Amino acid sequence: MPTSMPTPTPTPTPARPPVATAAPSAVATAAAPQAAPASAPAARTGNTVLLAVIALCTAVTAANIYLAAPLLGLIARDFGVAPSAAGWIASVAQLGYAVGLLVFAPLGDTADRRRLVAVLSAVAGAALVAATFAPGLPALAAAVLVACAATVVPQLLVPLVAERAPADRRGRHVAAVVAGLFTGIVAARVLGSLAGQAYGWRAVFLGSAALTVAIGLLTAVLLPAETRPRRASRPLKAIAALPGLLRASADLRAACLRQAGLFGAWSSLWTSLTLLLTADRPFHLSTAAAGLFGLFGLVSTALAPVSGTLIDRFGAQRVVTTAYALTAVSLPLFWLGGHELWALCAAAVVIHAGLIAGQVANQTRALASTGTPAAANTAYVVTAFIGGASASALAGPAYSHWGWNGVCVIAAASVAIGWAGSAVAARKSR
């Protein structure tokens, strides 16, 4: 689906262009003349290809986190339970992703990313195959938990992109990867629901397993060789250091809380939307028709590059404020959308615009807030997904007891908590 920090600049070699880091742009400018002029066009082409492959890998792997959401009705029917009883599978997926981020993402600062990407892609693929043959909801939940815990490849690659990007174009490069992430979310809802309607939900999981392994291994092969000094990977130490990292950086705390609020609002509404659209009243849509609502997520893909450009020009704070304003505007539209389809369509466009603007701005700022990009990115994304998973977990029971109005209340509370918490952190930063 929700992010950047200064790192030491590696010594450039004749075969590769100098690596720009989150350091000031003057550093990147000073390093640039050292590259061989004749190799510059080839280097730029290689970086463009790598960025495209990373964006594609992000799309495919991110889709796994949201694969179950548009298929909840089919899953519930297959296992003979009520649709609301299967809703917690979507929360398990987000929880698994948060756990995986906590355990694996900090390794991006120390481990060989090539090997890590290959291993995690294989594990995710195997877990998705296990989900395909799950005999019941508990087994499916366990397989989804493992698959999503291993689906942290995008967050291993985002710091790499930020490190290699020129300082004055970092926002645009991060935005390209974030666009891939949201394209995966759209694909999960649209293509997943259409394929599920035609072939069943198990076939969707099996197809996703094949794609995950294929694109993960391709990305691992194309990643540049590590040039940083080898250090021993200590996952537990990296996890233990995250609270201190958050305490030390008010900017990082603010970015985390802002995105947790935005993502919580989006997640509570978007994961419950299938239940509203496929219920007998008021819309009574098929699973495939409800999945087409995911096309509104294309707004995210289109706005990501624009958001990156605006961040580079006007700064992250203005973009984040705009993101919250858009999300706040979407909430009354979602409430009205409980009975009016046009309002639901408008709300979907507005909330995706707010979410993508906030994601790019907050992630760019988080990556620049400390000297350990992978660790800061881990703290950022884990916090965002805890916000999303918590809101999703509350949205299911809220929908069962109070209907769509209850889901809208959960979303509004997420926005209010995220904004208030980030405001406190921002004041401490100043």
DSSP secondary structure string for all residues of 78-116 = HHT--HHHHTHHHHHHHHHHHHHHHHHGGGGGTS-HHHH
d(CA 133, CA 151): 19
Q: Is 218 exposed, middle or buried (0-12, 13-18, 19+ CB in 10 A)?
A: middle
Question: Is the overall model pTM greater than 0.75, yes or no?
Answer: no
Joined tokens for residue 52: 């495209």
CB 190 within 8 A of CB 102: no
Burial class of residue 231, CB neighbours in 10 A (0-12, 13-18, 19+): exposed
Sequence-ordered list of residues with C-beta below 8 angstroms from that of 31, at least 6 positions apart, any chain: 9, 12, 18, 20
pLDDT, one tens digit for every residue, the chain (430 residues)? 443 333 333 434 444 333 333 333 333 333 333 433 444 554 555 567 777 888 888 888 888 988 888 888 889 888 888 776 787 888 888 888 878 878 887 776 667 788 888 999 999 999 999 999 999 899 999 999 999 999 888 778 777 776 766 666 666 777 777 777 778 877 887 888 888 888 999 999 999 999 999 999 988 888 877 665 655 556 677 777 888 888 888 888 889 999 999 999 999 998 888 888 888 788 888 877 777 777 777 766 677 677 777 877 877 788 888 999 999 999 999 999 998 999 999 999 899 889 888 888 888 888 878 777 778 888 888 888 888 888 988 988 888 889 999 999 999 999 999 988 777 766 665 5
Tokens 């993502």 sit on residue: 263
Strand, coil or helix: 66: coil
pLDDT score, position 209: 94
> What is the DSSP track for 149-179?
HS--HHHHHHHHHHHHS-GGGHHHHHHHHHH
Instruction: Output the six-digit token pair for 320.
Output: 């984040």
